[in-house]
Amino acid sequence: MYRRYLTALQRWTLGLDVWINRVYPSDLNPLYYTGGLTNLFLFVLVLSGIFIFFYYVPSLNGAHASVAYLTEQVPYGGLIRGIHRYSADAFIIAALLHLFRNWFTDRYLFARDSPWISGMFLLLFGGFVGVTGYILVWDERALVVFSELVRLMRSIPLVGERFAWVLQAGPGISDETMPRMLLLHVGPASALYVLLWWHYVRLRHPKVWPPATWVLTSLGIVTLLAAVVPAVSGTPAQPGVQPTTMWLDVFYLLPFWLAGYVPPFLIVAGIGLLFVAGFAIPYVNREDPHAMGIRHAGVAQVVDGNCTGCELCYYDCPYNAIVMVPSPYPGATRAAANRKLLAVVIDSRCVECGICIGACPFEALELPAFMESDLQRRVAEAVRA
Amino acid sequence: MSAAAAGAPRVVGFVCDWAVATAGLTDEAGRLHAHPSVVLIRVPCSGFIRPSWLEDALRAGADGVFVVGCPYGDCLNREGNYLMQERIEQLQRRLQRRKVEPERLTMLAHGLHDREAFLADVAGLLDALGRLRPPAPAAARPAAPARASAEEGGS
Ligand code: HEM
Ligand code: SF4
Ligand code: SF4
């Protein structure tokens, strides 16, 4: 059932590409660079965030005023604030597109689970950073979001009270609260880069930046948006006073909007379930590849005696599944007799693509299910007929 | 087979499992219904192809070879099609020195649903191969035939 849906979604995803590729040359298809776009927006967020940091005052009385000063008095301050706001939206949109695309195109299965799991952590941290970002403005909306967040935390059994304490830096809103919010904004945001190291560690040459055209287009759109629709604050937050009117951001604040209708514990449980399901995606329905209709090529094997230690396979493996080790003994062939290194495939990282076979000029690698001799035989049959 | 294939250039194509879907386009042996002189061999990734296999296929008597990967940027294995594109370019340069025309080696990129574009490319490829000089018998190939110099001038 799940498989059937996924197959349909894959068909739509790739069908959409056929259309996009009619408009753009295929190596400019933006959907091929969702990871790079996410990273680009994160980079813009860091730069604009550092700028804002120079003006931000983390105190109950100072926060709102400092943001207002930044917006109105500092040259280009309003623009940079807008860029920060809209890149945050773009970051989440791009990250979700990236998630769905990798999901629908089977890029999370078997040996590929490491970027998926780190990706779920990135999403979790990224989402949290967004929420604390809204609170830092400390206007009416921030207060609502903050109180709801505390309420959600409190609804968690056993540890909830403690979480609420950590969030407020005390039993209730106090002078310590805003510095704590700033910490909870900047800290997890920095942690994103640690997680990104994990995200990339199994990928050789990750495409961290989209093509230049898309870098410029994305920057242009965000800047234009920030100039045309400036980011604004609501009225300053006054604890104890009911907000008058308020606008909720759909991406970040949906759960808070729901909070008006659903008991808080259900919301926390819902979010928790969503992430548990996300983490489980690479492992549910994990039948053996045959049953899933995937042709099983088998993990690449090094033909020990032939390997010359030339490292070509090591440079080409897209998943960093090959390591070069000091050769324990000389190779069998003439070319391999004086080798210094020997290639070793790490089974758990190998996605069975065979790219290393194409890279090796010395016939020292093979895919068990696609032996060179079979291939040669089929070629011979083809040209003979 | 021979009647249809006799005049047409014999071509071997390696097709990535994730690239264009060819179910229904070929018979059991991988022979294209539309162009019976073309035989497709499915492989796990375009980057799996070792360039020497392409060279061997030409030497064994194929008039042309091609490799089909996914659209550039969308390789399931991230880089297979770019790597293969580079390898084919290198091989074309190397073989050109031995008077083998670059047109005999082609890299194509077509996604799962790009059937029509794929078939159109194959037809174009056969056209181009038909216009080349007939291949010398395998044994005689290293001794460069007379027309090769004219072709070099053009490139
Ligand atoms: C801060 C957010 C994120 C950034 C900046 C980011 C960036 C990237 C980049 C640059 C790549 C390399 C693409 C390539 O070269 O092929 C990548 C790969 C990947 N990402 Fe993310 N990503 C993020 C979040 C996520 C999320 C939320 C998920 C899903 C849960 C995810 C899943 C993956 C997977 C599965 C791959 C491997 C793709 C492959 O094997 O071809 N990422 N990411
Ligand atoms: S088949 Fe080769 S290139 Fe592909 S992941 Fe395994 S070791 Fe790396
Ligand atoms: S490309 Fe082949 S010979 Fe070179 S290190 Fe890898 S396995 Fe050994």
Q: Indicate the fold that domain A293-384 takes in CATH.
A: Alpha-Beta Plaits (3.30.70)
Residue B4 in domain:
no
Residue B142 in domain:
no
**Mean pLDDT confidence for A173-182:** 94
Task: Tell me the C-alpha distance between A159 and A23, whole Å.
Answer: 53
Residue B66 in domain:
yes
Q: Is A202 close to ligand 1, i.e. is its CB under 6 Å away?
A: no
Q: Is A137 close to ligand 1, i.e. is its CB under 6 Å away?
A: no
Task: Tell me the C-alpha distance between A332 and A311, whole Å.
Answer: 17
Q: What is the pLDDT of residue B5?
A: 45
By alpha-carbon position, which residue is closest to atom 20 of ligand 1?
A: A115
Percent of chain A with pLDDT over 90: 68
Place of tokens 């759109």: A221
Chain A: give the shortest CA distance to residue B92, in Å: 16
Chain B: give the shortest CA distance to residue A25, in Å: 9
Question: A27 and B72: CB-CB below 8 Å?
Answer: yes
Smallest Cβ distance to A367: which of B44, B62, B79?
B44
Q: What is the pLDDT of residue A295?
A: 62
Task: Tell me the C-alpha distance between A192 and A276, whole Å.
Answer: 19
Query: Between A99 and A297, where is the model more confident?
Result: A99
Window 75-134 of A, Cβ < 8 Å to B = 105-107
| C-beta of residue A100 within 8 angstroms of C-beta of residue A6 | no
Q: What is the Rg, in whole angstroms, of the alpha carbon atoms belonging to chain B?
A: 15
Q: What is the pTM of this model?
A: 0.90
Give the chain B residue nearest A358 (alpha carbons): B50
Residue B83 in domain:
yes
pLDDT tens-digit map of B21-79: 988 899 988 999 999 999 999 999 999 999 999 999 999 999 999 999 999 989 999 99
Average pLDDT of chain A is: 90
Question: A203 and B78: CB-CB below 8 Å?
Answer: yes
Residue A323 pairs with which residues in a beta bridge?
A344
Buried b (16+ CB within 10 A) or exposed e, B65-97: bbbbbbbbbbbbbbbbbbbbbebbeebbeebbe
Tell me the CA–centroid distance for residue B12 and ligand 3, in Å. Answer: 27
A16 and B CB contact within 8 Å? no
Question: A358 and B5: CB-CB below 8 Å?
Answer: no
Residue B154 in domain:
no
Chain A: give the shortest CA distance to residue B115, in Å: 10
Residue B140 in domain:
no
By alpha-carbon position, which residue is closest to atom 8 of ligand 2?
A: A317
pLDDT tens-digit map of B98-152: 989 999 999 999 998 889 999 999 999 999 999 886 655 554 444 444 443 333 3
Q: Is this complex's ipTM strictly greater than 0.95?
A: no
Number of domains present in the structure of chain B = 1
Question: A382 and B62: CB-CB below 8 Å?
Answer: yes
Decide which of 3.30.2270.10, 1.20.810.10, 1.20.1260.10, 3.30.70.260 is the CATH code for A2-280: 1.20.810.10
| C-beta of residue A352 within 8 angstroms of C-beta of residue A367 | yes
Q: Give me the residue spans of the domains in chain A.
A: 2-280, 293-384
Residue B86 in domain:
yes
Show residues of chain A in contact with B74, CB under 8 Å. Answer: 17, 26, 29, 32, 105
Residue B146 in domain:
no
- Domain extent, residue B32, equals 11-132
Distances (CA, A) of A254 to A35, A272, A276, A300, B68: 24, 15, 19, 46, 45
- CATH number reported for the structural domain that contains residue B55 in this entry: 3.40.50
